[in-house]
Structure formats: structure tokens, C-alpha cells
Structure 1
Amino acid sequence: MTSTDPVLWEQDGHVVRLVMNRPETRNALGSLEELDHFVSLCQRANDDRSVRAVILTGKGSAFAAGGNVKDMRDKVGILAGIPKVQRDSYRRTVQRLAQAIRNIEVPTIAAVNGPAIGQGCGLACLCDIRIAGEAAKFAVSFLKLGLVPGDGGAWILPRLIGSARAAELFFTGDLIDAATARDWGLVSRVVPDAELAAEASAFAGRIAAQPPDVLRLTKRLLREGERAPYESVLEMSAAFQALAHHTDDHDEAIAAFFEKRPGRFEGR
């Protein structure tokens, strides 16, 4: 891991910050190798049991500008080839990254420090929670480039803000500011830009203070609840609850409750 990596892994205790590190391109999605690196860090977060929360943010003045428009013009890199080749390339790159972020097993927080445009907005939407600095702006401007949303945004954005508002954003390509994003439910809170990093870290710290294995199970239930029938979620909830009752962390949580102190959870 070096300071020139396309995405930086910065760990502080149980919290990891994934920092998109291409400020010269406003953190536009880049080459196959860069996307593979990003995917590998998502998998690392799943494999490392010390990780309890992940913050995704961008370096510089932008969160992420989405696809690289110069590459679109020149039809190079992952955008080269005939339609069949490009379709497979999207599956292998942009969509693989979207699935990797969505499938991070611990809670994820997007700390949106500036414009989140196109696929950049999609990356933020894939996180469980979004906190925006006052300078944040959001747009899904694919139509303005003669494109469709290729990252699965047509599935996730209506679930976050409703079908009518999602259609408004997709069909116009309009830019909305942080306050509008909060009013529409796209972000949960807006903070001064200078306070964004500290606010996201404090929020992640509160999450990371929870029993880690049960935290991952809870996120899994929320994900299943998006697609499974209610009865199926009830069955899974019963199974997960039975597991939770037999963890050391559950015993510690009960002891901490009666002793009126914070719990000390080890993931056992």
C-alpha cells in the first residue's frame, strides 16, 4: 500500500477509511487495474475481522466524478471495443465494483466531500449511510453524455428517494445540492465541510462499538429485507437471533447493561 494507490486503506482501530485517490481526475473511475484494486480492498474489509465499519470518501475537492469522459471520447481502456466487448467490460469492471461495495459485510458510510456525479453518485448510494459536507452535490447525468446508468443505479436510487424523484434526476441530469439531498432522503445529514471527516469518524466509531459479529448479521438482515418476503426474513431473523444469544458478546452486553457501563466486545 502506497500513497499513490488509486484507493487508500487507512485504518484507525476498528474503522477503515477507503479514500479514492485520484484528485487530478476528480476521482473518476479509471483503468481495469485501478478498479481491481478497489474491489480487492472491499474484499479485504470482509476478510479482516478487526474491521467493524468502513468510511468511503474522496481525496481533494470531489467525492467522485464518475466515468472518465476523456476515455469515453477516445474509446480506450475499459471503454474500447465493439458493443459485445463493452458489455462484458462493464460487467467485469463498473458492475463488479458496485457489487463489491454493496457486499461489504460491515456498515459503510459515504462521507461525501464534494461533487458525486454519475457513477460517483452511484458509489455513494451503495453505502448504507451517507453524510454530506455542505459543498457536496449530486447528479446522475448519464443522459447528458448520451448514456444509460450502467452501474445499477436504476435499481438502487428509486429505493432511496422514491421513483418520481429518481426519474426526475435521471431524466434531467440536474444537479442537486446537499440540502436538497438531505430533504429528499439521499443523505441523512449535512455538516460543515471542515467537520465532515470528524463527523464520519465519530459516527463510524459509534457503530464500531457494537458487538462485531452481530453487527454483520444485522447488516445481512437489512440486505435480505430488501428482496426477500417478510416470512423469509422472519425465519432468518430467528436463526440469527439463536446464534446471537449464544455469543460471549451477548453475555457481555447484558453484564454491561446491569453494571451501567459500556460493553467491551471481542467478536466471540
Structure 2
Amino acid sequence: MNLPQPTLTDADLTLENRVATLTMNRHDVRNALTGTALVDDIVAVADWINHCDDVSVLLITGAGSAFSAGGNVKDMANRGGDFAGDVAEVSARYRQGIQRIPLALQDVEVPIIAAVNGPAIGAGFDLANMADMRLASSKAKFGETFLNLGIIPGDGGAWFMQRLIGYQRAFELTLSGRIIDAEEAKAYGIVLDVFEPQALMQEAQALAARIAAQPPKATRLTKRLMKMAQRTELKDFLDLCAVFQGMCHNEPEHLEAVNTMLEKMSK
């Protein structure tokens, strides 16, 4: 099933060779996720991908100097925008607003790569951590800075980061609120690799292209398995693997891949 590409307000979307590239395009506010339409744009793209068989990889990056500054601090200071109102109002706005991003990205059926081109701060850091893999520019910086502002990571960051780098390191970064550079992020396992700014997108696109060249239905099933392995007992997981494997063996793409491999081996 294929749906037409969604109409976006504050982001750009391209699709080439099975790689969908979502570029957050509010560099005037450093791609802040609140006070812009980026939440709606990200959620719309996530839903579109799950209904578009032409997509095998989602690549997320930011336009301008920042990946994402997270929340709009000026709105926080003014108690306006997403941060206005009493406890019930703010809570509802979080659930109906920024918390839609982790739920949507967690359900994306294809691999997600974040190309972190610049600072990823607060909710912007959390957004990067919602991807399956992260590549960073040498100009990128990362900070779980919520506590510096007297708030908690309300978008799910505390859930994602400790699964990525372990409880102790995630705890230290969250409670200290300190900002780390790309090389330290690599040492912690937050990013796979660091590149000079001019090479970042080329490297991210190359990684995306490698994955997109794999059989598409098996790729989606493999991501589902990787996610389910985190929350499933081994015996139940193996039962699921058996069913998914039966599905793969009955797909034309499996026979095509086997024949391609045999041709390479005969040369």
C-alpha cells in the first residue's frame, strides 16, 4: 500500500532509492520541537512510512546549524505556548503534543538513522535517541539539559537513553545536565561515528543506501524482531522468529536474493 507524501509545514521530505529523508526546517528557532509544526510533521511522516512500501529507511536531520534545540525556552519563560496553564492543561498538552513523537517513531517499521548535524539539546537529544542509529557531525553537541531548567525529560528521554547506554551513564548525563561533544558521545555509544560537517550527509546517505538495498519486507520484519527482543522472553521470541522466517521463505524477494547470491558465487 502506498499513500501520497504528506504535506509538511516546517520540514522537508524527499524519497530517493527507498530512502526517505526528513529535514527539520525551522533553523530560525534552531529546529525547536515546541512552538513549531515539527511534532505534526514528524508524526505525519512516521504514519506515511508505515503505509508506503517504497520506503526502506528513514533519515532524519536538521537544516541550519542545529539538529534540534528541543523545547522553546522563551515560551517556558513566558509560561506560554505548550507550557501555559495549570498542571492538567500542561499534562494534556504534553500528551497531545510532543509525546506523540516517541510513540510514532517507536512504531516506525523501517530503520531510522539520525544525522545529527549540530547541537541536539533537551528534547532534540531525545529525538536523536529515538532513532535506531546516530551519526554525528564534529560540530554536534548533546545535552539532557531538562534539570538545568527545573523540569524533567517529559518526552520520554529517560526511557530511551538508559536503554541506549545503560542506567548509570544515562543517570549521570540526565542529573548533571552537562553538554558533551560528538567524540564523547561516540565513546559512550550514543553515536556510531563522527564526521566532518561536509561529509555527514554523504556518510549517512551511504549507510541508508546500504540498508535500503536489502530485501524490503525482510528488513521491516527484522526491525520488528529487534524491537520485540527487548521485551519478549526467549522461548516466545523464538516462536515469533519461526513464524517470521516462514513468511520470509514464502516471499519472492527471498528467492531473488538467493539467486543473486548464487550468481555471485559462480563467478
TM-score, normalised to structure 2, is 0.94
| Paired residues of 1:32 and 1:78 also in contact (CA < 8 A) | no
Alignment counterpart, residue 202 of structure 1, candidates 196, 203, 206: 206
- In structure 2, the partner of 1:154 is 158
Alignment counterpart, residue 242 of structure 1, candidates 231, 242, 246: 246
The 5 Å alignment of 1:22-101 reads 22-31=26-35, 33-101=37-105
Amino acid across the alignment from 1:108: I
Deviations 1:124-165 (CA, angstroms, capped at 9, x unpaired)? 000000001111110000000100010111111111111111
CA distance in 2, matches of 1:251, 1:231: 28
1:130 aligns with 2:130: no
Deviations 1:106-133 (CA, angstroms, capped at 9, x unpaired)? 0010000000000000000000000011
CA distance in 1, matches of 2:162, 2:206: 29
- In structure 1, the partner of 2:220 is 216
Secondary structure in structure 1 of the residue aligned to 2:50: helix
Deviation at 1:32, TM superposition (A): 7.0
- In structure 2, the partner of 1:141 is 145
1:188 aligns with 2:185: no
- Which stretch has the larger CA shift, 60-69 or 7-16? 7-16
Deviations 1:144-197 (CA, angstroms, capped at 9, x unpaired)? 010001011111111111111111101110011111111110001111111001
Taking every aligned residue pair, what percent have the same amino acid on both sides? 43
Q: 1:110 to 1:207 in 2, by over 3 A?
A: same
- In structure 1, the partner of 2:23 is 19
Deviation at 1:35, TM superposition (A): 1.8
Q: RMSD between aligned alpha carbons?
A: 1.6
Secondary structure in structure 1 of the residue aligned to 2:99: helix
Deviation at 1:221, TM superposition (A): 0.4
Secondary structure in structure 2 of the residue aligned to 1:16: strand
- In structure 2, the partner of 1:172 is 176
User: Which ranges of structure 1 fall in alignment gaps of 5 or more residues?
Assistant: 262-268
- In structure 2, the partner of 1:104 is 108
| Paired residues of 2:138 and 2:194 also in contact (CA < 8 A) | yes
Alignment counterpart, residue 113 of structure 1, candidates 114, 117, 121: 117
Deviation at 1:4, TM superposition (A): 8.2
CA distance in 2, matches of 1:123, 1:194: 22
Amino acid across the alignment from 2:228: E
TM-score, normalised to structure 1, is 0.94
Amino acid across the alignment from 1:189: D
Deviations 1:223-242 (CA, angstroms, capped at 9, x unpaired)? 10111112221111111000
Equivalent residues, number: 261
User: Which ranges of structure 2 fall in alignment gaps of 5 or more residues?
Assistant: none
